[in-house]
Amino acid sequence: MTDFRPVLFILGLFLSALAVAMMVPALVDAAIGHDDWRVFALSGAATLFVGVALATGFRGDAMRLDLRQGFVLTAATWIVLSAFSALPFVFSDITLSYVDAYFEAVSGLTTTGATVLVGLESMPPGILLWRSILQFIGGAGIIVMAIAVLPFLRVGGMQLFRAESSEKSDKVLPRLSSVAAATVAVYVGLTALCAILYGVAGMSGFDAVTHAMTTVSTAGFANYDSSFAWFQNPAIEWIAILFMLIGGCPMVVFILLARGHFRPLWSDSQIRAFLAIVLLASLAMTLWLHATRDVEFGIALRLALFNVTSVTTTTGYASADYGTWGGFAMVGFVLLMCVGGCTGSTTGAIKVFRLQILARLIGAQLRRQMQPHGVFPMHYMGQHVHDDVQASVMAFFAVYIVSLASLTLVLAALGYDLVTAFSGAASILSNHGPGLGDIIGPSGNFQSLSDAAKWVLCFGMFLGRLEIFTLLMLFSVRLWRG
């Protein structure tokens, strides 16, 4: 029988940290004299109580988690933290039902950015701040998970990104911790820089800080129902484009950049492919808008770049209602949703490195058909890609498509039309946010969906965020058996 005490211990620590984070909106609300400070204080106290109880009750040696414990902890962290993050939404004046509150919390922590709130303009500042903080924390969590956890759980080919010396050294965790800490520091620094630039470009201090927190984390909550279209400010849009692109790159690369090494930014084939996809898709979308929607070229370029970047990085901002751009745009956006950014970023979806490996697999197949007995070793960024990594990537792709199809089918069975069901499933699974169609398109939101649909979408957001296999493992008999 596996010992799950260390899992509960670490969960307790995480919950305690979450409680501390709730103090931020509590203080802000108190400072401006908004009554919601009680809501956050109360939620924080409840969360802290449970957190401390778990941490003290199950104290033990948590430094040696085995695979079983690793899977359970990783999945449980997102599910349980979301449950407590939802408390302020329930207790606040906006009085959401628990499913709505949980949906909003999951959408926040997983950096999805789909919202059930309508009339964001008139929401209490504490609530808006809490939404941004959830995405900011979630983003940090995703980066740490990508660097320190998933490569060891061998999820979806992520073992390719295992730190090189990790298998030899006996000091794996300290070394990883320092990389993770440095990466999170870079993440915080970029967010601060983004906030400053937003402020300079004309955002209020509050908007600048909250939107910076949801930009670099490629998360997508905005303080306005119309998202970035509210600002009508090209400078702000260009800053958002830049920082969404930054958020789509592996965060580790910016540590090297901070140390003065610029080469990795160009020599990293994943980053090159990612930027090429965004640029080519933006160019195609620009021409489409210019040709079929009579939009002036310069404006079309900005519109295309902003929304293509937002979709490809699975951020979820909109600078226009791109749901009205016609069939090519709709198909293009659904496909880009499934692409995502680089591994080691906060983006969701399949991600560029997996698509690169798939392309190499297809190429190898064409070669093998010509030379049936040839051997074609695969390389990626100077590394040999072992067979088990290839199999992991392929299994991930297959399970991604199956998940997408299943989510679509369930949403359709709940009564939604093909476009809503398919785009909603694609958007939620990729942790992007808005879908297409009248209901959940960029000008709509998730409020009107049934409770059943919301629970299904919460599951979909976890599925995407946990790279599917981490969550699937919980349903595997093997995990629980001796």
**Cα radius of gyration rounded to whole Å, the chain:** 22
Of the two residues 88 and 437, which places its CB atom closer to its own copies in the complex? 437
CB of 347 to its own copies, least distance (A): 19
Question: How far is 348 from 339, CA to CA, in rounded Å?
Answer: 8
Tell me the C-alpha distance between 293 and 303, whole Å. 12
Question: To the nearest whole angstrom, how small is the minimum distance from the Cβ of residue 118 to its own copies?
Answer: 24
Which H/E stretch holds residue 384?
strand 383-384
CB of 431 to its own copies, least distance (A): 20
Question: Site residues (CB under 8 A) for its own copies?
Answer: 67-68, 71, 153-155, 288, 326-328, 330-332, 334-335, 358, 361-362, 364-370, 372, 387-388, 390-392, 394-399, 401-402, 405, 408-409, 411-413, 415-422, 436, 469, 472-473, 476, 478-479
**Tokens coding 448:** 């009107």
We find the least distance from the C-beta atom of residue 375 to its own copies, in angstroms, to be 10
Minimum distance, C-beta of residue 358 to its own copies, in the bound complex (Å): 5
Q: Whose Cβ is closer to its own copies: residue 200's or residue 402's?
A: 402
Which of 59/368 has CB closer to its own copies?
Answer: 368
Alpha helices in 371-435 (DSSP H): 387-413, 418-429
**Element housing 236 (H / E):** helix 234-248
Amino acid at 467: E
Of 276 and 401, CB closest to its own copies = 401
Residue 316 corresponds to which tokens in the numbers above? 């979820």
Residue type present at position 273: A
Closer residue to its own copies, CB minimum distance, 303 or 334: 334
* Choice between 258 and 401, CB closer to its own copies: 401
CB of 476 vs its own copies, minimal distance in Å: 5
Query: φ, ψ for residue 130 (rounded to 5)?
Result: -60, -40
Whichever of 255 and 395 has its CB closer to its own copies, that residue is 395
C-alpha span between 236 and 202 (Å, rounded): 8
SS3 category, 380: strand
Q: Minimum CB separation from its own copies for residue 61, in Å?
A: 22
Rounded least distance, CB 335 to its own copies, Å: 5
Q: Which residues 6+ apart lie within 8 Å of 256 measured at CB?
A: 264
Nearer to its own copies among residue 381 and residue 418 (C-beta): 418
Pick 119 or 372: Cβ nearer its own copies? 372
DSSP at 204: -
Closest separation in Å from C-beta 99 to its own copies: 22
Using the minimum distance from each CB to its own copies, give the nearer residue, 45 or 418. Answer: 418
CA pair distance 389, 401, nearest whole angstrom: 18
CB-nearer residue toward its own copies: 408 or 431: 408
Measure the N-to-C terminal CA separation of the chain; round to a whole number of Å.
Answer: 5
Residue 440 Cα distances to 131, 361, 422, angstroms:
19, 36, 11
CA atoms within 13 A on the CB side of 149: 21
**CB 5 within 8 Å of CB 73:** no
How near is the Cβ of 462 to its own copies at its closest, in Å? 17
Least Å distance, CB 247 to its own copies, is 25
Judged by CB, which is closer to its own copies: 152, or 206? 152
| Beta-ladder partners of 384 | 379
Amino acid identity of residue 430, one-letter, is S
Least distance (Å) from its own copies to the CB of residue 398? 5
Q: With contact defined as beta carbons under 8 Å apart, do 82 and 102 qualify?
A: yes
Whether the CB-CB separation of 178 and 169 falls below 8 Å is answered with no
Q: Which pairs from 234-241 meet CB under 8 Å and 24+ separation?
A: 234/302, 235/201, 235/202, 236/198, 236/201, 236/202, 236/203, 237/302, 237/306, 237/319, 238/302, 239/194, 239/197, 239/198, 239/201, 240/211, 240/215, 240/306, 240/310, 240/317, 241/305, 241/306, 241/309
Dist CA 356 CA 362 (whole Å)? 10
List Cβ neighbours of 116 (8 Å cut-off, separation of 6 or more): 96, 100, 103, 104, 445, 446, 447, 449, 454
